[in-house]
Amino acid sequence: MYRIYFNMATRERRAAIVEEDKVVELLIERSVEKRIVGNVYKGRVVNVLPGMQAAFIDIGRDKNAFLYRDDLLSFQKLSLKDEEKKKKNISELVKKGEELLVQVTKEGFGTKGPRLSGVVSFPGKFVVYMPTGNYIGVSRKIRSEDERERLRMMGEELIENEEGLIIRTVCEGATRQEIEEDIRILRGFWDETWKEKKDEKPPALIHQDTGLIERIIRDFSLDLVTEIYIDNFRDYKRLVDLLGPERKDKLHFYQGKENIFSAYAIDKELEKSLKRQVWLRNGAYLMIDQTEALTVIDVNTGKFIGKNDLQDTIKKTNIEAAKEIARQLRLRDISGIIIIDFIDMKDEKDQLHVLSYFKGALEKDRTKTNVLGLTGLGLVEMTRKKIRQNLQDSLSKICPTCKGKGSVLSNEAQAFHVERLLWEYRGMDHEALVLELPPHIAEVLRGKKDEHLKRLEEALHFKILLFENREMTEQQYEIPFMGSLQEAKNKLERLTKEH
C-alpha cells in the first residue's frame, strides 16, 4: 500500500511515493529540463550505421537520437524465424532520408542522444496500447496459464487492423468490459492525435507525454494507494477530476505554511539518499558508490553484533541489507550494472536464502531488474534498466574542488604544491608578495613558530605575507599582489579589512 505526496507549489514539481513509512520513489519535473521519455516524433533518418546495427534520427532536438535495428517496427514485423531475422542488416530495413514515426524510450545522457523505438505505445490502466504493434503480450507476473490464455484471446478479439497490446498485471481478474473501455479510450486518443499531426513535416513532435500528476495516476494502481496529499489547489482540482468521486476521500489538500515535504519528513529522507553511507535499523550499514555505468554496494556489520553465533548475525545483517538495497535502488533510481558485496556467508543455504529474499524485495520495483546470481567471489551481479537521470545526477553536481574524485589533496600535499609555486618566483625583482590561501594550508606552510616560512623567505630572497581567507575552498590559492614590502603590507591590511 502506498501514500503519495505532491509538492507542486514551486517551479520544481516533486512527487514522493511512500511505502511502509519509507520513501521508495521520488519523481521530479522541472520547467528548465523538459522530459522527453514517452514523446512521439516524426523523425528523419540522417545516418545508417550497418556496423552498429543502428540509425541516427533527427527528431528536432540538439542531439540526434539513435534507433537500434531490433527496435525498428519493420524488423519487429518480419515474418521470419529468429535465426534468419538476426542475419538482416539494418541497411536493408531503413534508408537515409526516410521518415519514421518513433518514440523516446530513454533520455539522452552526457554525450549520448535519446534512444528511440519504432514501436509506439501508450500505457493505460489495464493495457499498453500499440497502434501498429501487431502482437499480443501478457505480463509475466500473471502466473496462471488459464488466466494468461483468457486474456490473450480477449486481446485478440478486441484489437483492430495492425494494433498490438501488452496486457498489464492489473488485468488479472479484470472483465472484458473494463479492458475494452481502456482500449477504446487509448485508440480514440491516438486516432485524434494522428489525424491532427500526420501531415507535419519531420522533424516534428506528434505527442507530448503527460505531466507528473497524470503519469503517476496512470502508472500506479489506485486501489493500492491509501492517501494522496497535494499542496497546490489548481492541481488538487485536477486530481479530483482524475480520481473520480469514488476515490475523492483519499485526496487531501495540504494548506500548512511549512513545505509539505518538510512537514512529512520526506526532505530528511532525500538528504540521506545523497550520502554514501546508509545506516540500517540494526546498526549495520551500506556503502554506495556510483559511477556512470557501474554501482558498487558494500554491506558492513557496523554496530550490529547479534545475539547468537557469527553466521546467524551475518545472515540477519544481509537480509536487512537486501531489503534496504532494493529500496535504495528505487529511491536513487540507480541503473546499469550493479555489484553487491554482501557479508560472506559460509553456508550455501544462507546464500540462496538471502538471494531469494533480495529478488522478492525487487518485485515491487516498477523498473525492470535482472539478478544474475552470485559470482565466484560471492558478489551479487544485477542490472537495472536506465530510463532517466538518477537522483544523484538530478539533485547534485560534480564537486568543483575534488572534480568528482570524492577526495582532495591532504593539507601537507597542498602546502608543498604552493611551495613549489613560490619557488618559480625565486630571484624576482619584487621585494615581497601577498599569498592568499585557506587557513589550514597556511598553518602547514608556516611550520612551527613560523620556522618553515622564514627558511623559505631566506631561500627565495623575498618576503611572503600570508592572508588566510576562510572563504577559500580546498586547493584554492592565489597571489593578489607583488611589489615593495610596504605596498605588500598595505595590500594585506586592505584584504584583512574587506574580510
Express each pLDDT in 49-76 by its tens digit: 999 999 999 999 888 999 999 999 999 8
Q: Are residues 286 and 386 in the same domain?
A: yes
Both 387 and 288 in one domain: the answer is: yes
Cα atoms in the 13 Å half-sphere on the side-chain side of 289? 9
433 and 462 in a common domain = yes
Residue 405 in domain: no
pLDDT of residue 91: 92
Q: Which three cell numbers stand for residue 315?
A: 545472515
> Over the stretch 387-442, which tens digit does the pLDDT of each residue have?
777 777 777 777 777 777 777 888 998 999 999 999 999 989 999 999 999 999 99
pLDDT of residue 304: 63
Shared-domain flag, residues 191 and 219: no
Residue 224 has pLDDT above 50, yes or no: yes
Residue at 62: amino acid letter: D
136 lies in which domain range? 121-208
Sheet holding 164-167, edge to edge: 122-123, 127-130, 164-167, 136-138
Q: What is the pTM of this model?
A: 0.69
Distance CA 211, CA 118 (A): 23
Cα–Cα dist 160/187, whole Å: 10
Q: pLDDT class for 242, splitting at 50, 70, 90?
A: confident
CATH number of the domain to which 9 belongs: 3.30.420
* Residues 489 and 424 placed together within one structural domain of the fold: yes
Q: Number of structural domains, the chain?
A: 5
Instruction: Give 308's pLDDT tier (boundaries 50, 70, 90).
Output: low
Are the CB atoms for 467 and 446 separated by under 8 Å? Answer: no
Is 400 among the domain residues? Answer: no
Same domain for 293 and 247: no
- Residue 406 burial by Cβ neighbours in a 10 Å radius (0-12, 13-18, 19+): exposed
Report how far residue 65's alpha carbon sits from residue 143's, in angstroms, rounded to the nearest whole number.
37
How high is the pLDDT of residue 305? 64
In terms of domains, do 49 and 29 share one?
no
Instruction: Give me the amino acid identity at 308.
Output: N
Residue 300 above 50 pLDDT? yes
Residue carrying the nine cell digits 535482472: 370
Place of cell 482524475: 242
- Of the pLDDT bands very low, low, confident and very high (cuts 50, 70, 90), residue 307 is low
CATH number of the domain that 78 lies in? Answer: 2.40.50.140
Residue 140 in any domain: the answer is yes
pLDDT-wise least confident of 45-54, 86-95, 104-113: 104-113
**What mean pLDDT is predicted for residues 276-281?**
90
Let me know whether 294 and 360 are in one domain: yes
Those residues whose C-beta lies under 8 Å from the C-beta of residue 168, and which sit 6 or more positions away, are: 123, 125, 126, 127, 128, 139
Separation CA 201–CA 194 (nearest Å): 13
CB contact at 8 A, 84 and 75: no
Question: How many residues would you count in the chain?
Answer: 499
Task: Note the pLDDT tens digit of each residue in 419-429.
Answer: 999 999 998 99
Within 139-232, residue ranges assigned H as helices are 145-158, 176-197, 212-219
46 φ, ψ (degrees, to nearest 5)? -105, -20
CA distance 36 to 39: 5
Per residue in 127-180, pLDDT (tens digit) is 899 999 888 999 888 889 999 999 999 999 999 989 999 998 888 888 899 899
Q: What is the pLDDT of residues 166-196, one digit of tens each?
A: 998 888 888 899 899 889 988 998 999 999 9
CATH of the domain at 358: 3.40.630
> What is the C-alpha separation between 72 and 115, in angstroms, rounded?
12
Domain edge (last residue) among 67, 87, 118: 118
Are 127 and 183 found together in one domain? Answer: yes
How far is the C-alpha of 499 from the C-alpha of 492, rounded, in Å?
11
Mean pLDDT of 354-383: 91
Task: Let me know whether 390 and 425 are in one domain.
Answer: no
Banded pLDDT at 32 (limits 50, 70, 90): very low
- Domain check: are 110 and 44 in the same one? yes
Local confidence band at 291 (pLDDT 50, 70, 90 cut-offs): confident
User: Residue 424 is part of a domain; what is its CATH number?
Assistant: 3.40.1260.20
Q: What is the CATH number of the domain that holds 185?
A: 3.30.230
Across the strands, what pairs with 48? 55
The reply to whether 404 falls in a domain is no
Q: Is residue 431 part of a domain?
A: yes
Q: What is the DSSP string of 107-139?
A: ---TT---EEESS--EE-SSEEEETT---EEE-
Q: CA torsion 425→428→433→439, rounded to 10°?
A: 20
Q: Report pLDDT for 34.
A: 64
**Sign of the four-CA dihedral 357, 359, 360, 364:** positive
Domain membership of residue 401 (yes or no) is no
Instruction: Specify whether the CB–CB gap between 282 and 317 falls below 8 A.
Output: yes
What's the CA gap between 90 and 47, in Å, rounded? 11
Residues 470, 440 share a domain: yes
| Of the candidates 189, 181, 57, the residue with the CA atom closest to the CA atom of residue 121 | 189
Pairwise CA distance, residues 486 & 460, whole Å = 18
Residue 403 lies inside a defined structural domain of this protein: no
> Is 7 part of a structural domain of the chain?
yes
